[in-house]
């Protein structure tokens, strides 16, 4: 991919009115564009990040035995009245009347819809368990949108739902989803804290939140400075208390962003909506449900919040928009151009995505933009080093720059990428 033929509208200055680092950098790096408060367009670079995060989620959800579907955004309000959540979530629901006089809402979540679907197809214990998930746009009329895509009116979410015959089956599926979440966040380069949580309007007796410490967080957590212990702040905990796990470490209070939430819903929705099945004895029972959500678009902001420096974004390699950037300093130099194309072919053949900055811009502008968009590795090809048969390879995360023989550069870089 050539920069000159792509669409990466980078900004030199920090946009006015932005507080969060992730908001500032996502705008400056040309990842997103604000249409109006709480509503964002994903530009090509941002969409590539989004798709890579979605791919990680799909891989882990599929591996855990879940099956993907896609549910409607438009939902009849009558469905919500069966559970009473038309009133519980009234403040954030976006509702309207269509030309037929029906009251509809733009789905803020999909528990009612998925329960209605499953009850029409699952009638026997032989059809259970089943876990279904989607990656879908949600709509919530947030009174206070904040920090760009962290709290928006239109956002992308992965929501999954498990359906079991009994509580033991629910616990098994709950653990499968819990473990999948741990893997998803780790692959996205995030060190999460898992905390027991209040189920709130979702319902159920057991739930856990997955949070990552960040300056713009709206939740409070404690983390041990010596071991891996972390969790929600309890009323009897204070800054500097001894860690309940390792005993020797001290607890530090931090604010954190909620990235995911899992719930053992139990019978709340199946009972209200009459989602029933026949057991071995021919008796009707309500299906036992679980619910599992991840803020997909919010993950982008969380990754940037925890992976940046004064120069820009530092993408973890699994979610980076490209794996390597090749930066020829003199785009009119034939030898530099030929080597750039050869490197591109070699890296693409090895399965890596490459961005070539072929713009006729100053070296300073190109270096600054490279650090801003944060691609993990950069190869700089300049006439001076090329005369010595060498190129420069920079690791964006460590800042280390190595001068390597041009014939060895790709071999060494591929080894680093695969490590």
pLDDT in tens, 349-398: 999 999 999 999 999 999 999 999 999 999 999 999 999 999 999 999 99
Weakly modelled stretches of the chain, pLDDT under 70: 199-201, 203
CB 9 within 8 A of CB 44: no
Query: What residues does each domain of the chain span?
Result: 3-220+254-309, 324-418
- Collect all residues with Cβ–Cβ distance below 8 Å to 67 and sequence separation of at least 6: 130, 131, 132, 133
Query: Count of CB atoms within 10 A of residue 91's CB?
Result: 10
CA–CA dist 331, 340 (Å, integer): 10
CATH of domain 324-418: 3.40.50.800
- Collect all residues with Cβ–Cβ distance below 8 Å to 250 and sequence separation of at least 6: 224, 225, 226, 240, 241, 242, 243
User: What's the distance, CA 59 to chain centroid?
Assistant: 14
- Indicate the helix (H) or strand (E) that contains 120: none
- Per-residue pLDDT at 193: 93
Superfamily of domain 3-220+254-309: Bira Bifunctional Protein; Domain 2 (3.30.930.10)
- Indicate the helix (H) or strand (E) that contains 403: strand 401-405
- Per-residue pLDDT at 6: 96
- Per-residue pLDDT at 238: 80
pTM: 0.94
């Amino acid at each position: 991919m050539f920069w000159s033929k792509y669409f990466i509208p980078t900004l030199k200055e920090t946009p006015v009115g932005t507080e969060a680092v992730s908001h500032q950098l996502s705008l400056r790096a040309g990842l997103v564009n604000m249409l109006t408060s709480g509503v964002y367009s994903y530009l090509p670079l941002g969409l590539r990040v989004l798709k890579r995060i979605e791919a990680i989620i799909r891989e882990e959800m599929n591996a855990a035995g879940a099956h993907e579907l896609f549910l409607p955004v438009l939902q009849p309000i009558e469905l919500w009245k069966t559970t009473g959540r038309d009133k519980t979530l009234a403040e954030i629901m976006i509702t309207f009347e269509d030309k037929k006089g029906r009251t509809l809402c733009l789905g803020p979540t999909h528990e009612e819809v998925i329960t209605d679907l499953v009850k029409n197809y699952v009638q026997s214990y032989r059809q259970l368990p089943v876990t279904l998930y989607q990656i879908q746009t949600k709509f919530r009329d947030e009174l206070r949108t904040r920090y760009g895509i962290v709290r928006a009116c239109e956002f992308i979410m992965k929501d999954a739902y498990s359906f079991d015959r009994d509580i033991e089956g629910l616990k098994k599926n709950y653990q499968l989803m819990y473990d999948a979440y741990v893997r998803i966040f780790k692959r996205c380069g995030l060190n999460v804290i898992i905390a027991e949580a209040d189920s709130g309007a979702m319902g159920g007796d057991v739930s856990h939140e997955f949070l990552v410490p960040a300056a713009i967080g709206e939740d409070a957590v404690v983390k041990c400075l010596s071991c891996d212990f972390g969790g929600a702040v309890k009323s009897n905990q204070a800054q500097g208390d001894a860690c309940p796990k390792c005993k020797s470490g001290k607890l530090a209070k931090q604010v954190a962003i909620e990235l995911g939430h899992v719930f053992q819903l139990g019978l709340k929705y199946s009972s209200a909506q009459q989602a029933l099945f026949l057991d071995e004895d021919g008796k009707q029972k309500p299906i036992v449900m679980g619910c599992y959500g991840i803020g997909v678009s919010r993950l982008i902001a969380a990754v940037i919040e925890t992976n940046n420096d004064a120069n820009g974004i530092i993408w973890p390699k699994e979610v980076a928009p490209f794996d390597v950037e090749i930066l020829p300093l003199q785009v009119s130099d034939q030898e530099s151009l030929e080597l750039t194309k050869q490197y591109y072919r070699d890296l693409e053949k090895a399965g890596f995505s490459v961005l070539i900055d072929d713009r006729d811009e100053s070296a300073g502008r190109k270096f600054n933009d490279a650090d801003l968009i944060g691609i993990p590795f950069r190869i700089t090809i300049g006439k001076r080093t090329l005369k010595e048969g060498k190129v420069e390879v920079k690791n964006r995360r460590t800042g280390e720059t190595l001068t390597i023989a041009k014939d060895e550069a790709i071999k060494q870089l591929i080894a680093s990428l695969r490590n």
